[in-house]
Amino acid sequence: MSQSVTKTNLPRDSRLHSYIRPDDFLDCYQVESALTAGDAAEVIVAFPGWAKALVALRGILVAPFGLMNDGPGESDKLGPFPVEHTSDREVIAGFNDKHLDFRVSVYSASGHVSLATWVHPHNIGGRAYLTAILPFHIVIARNALARVARADGLAGVA
């Protein structure tokens, strides 16, 4: 099984399509994996130490601006994000904050898992925040999918 992560289009029947408006940010990466969307999502939010450190740093830096460090207090969460939709093929999680709305989609079909991120900035602060975190987002997303591919490879090992 290949662990090669590639940039791709959002799967055609992803529910994330219903969120997209002009000028929104959307990216999607994909890797070969037979994991279900739910199993892949659990691997994705099991962040390695370096990613946890970046998230903690982000929390410190945005605290003075009143941005959320964790999603709303929902009981059904994927990592820090409230789960909005779950099916065999797709898990969507995320929330709306004062500077932007965002959702992540973990989609599994045809031997591939996709990780898509949609962001709708509300103002210049949201656009500036997105620009600042984008390089880190790309590294974290690609790392997450590489871990999904490795986890899938281990699933068949007894």
- Mean pLDDT within 98-118: 95
* 106, containing H or E segment: strand 100-109
Is 36 a residue whose pLDDT tops 90?
A: yes
What digits encode the pLDDT tens for the residues 18-27? 999 999 999 9
- Mean pLDDT within 124-132: 91
**pTM (2 d.p.):** 0.86
Question: Mapping DSSP to helix (H, G, I), strand (E, B) and coil, where does residue 16 land?
Answer: helix
Tokens of 133: 């975190």
- 116 has which bridge partners? 28, 105
> What does residue 93 show for φ and ψ, rounded to 5 degrees?
-140, 155
Q: Please state the length of the chain.
A: 158
Q: How confident is the model at residue 80 (pLDDT cuts 50, 70, 90)?
A: confident
96 half-sphere exposure, CB direction, 13 A CA radius:
4
Q: How much is the pLDDT for 14?
A: 97
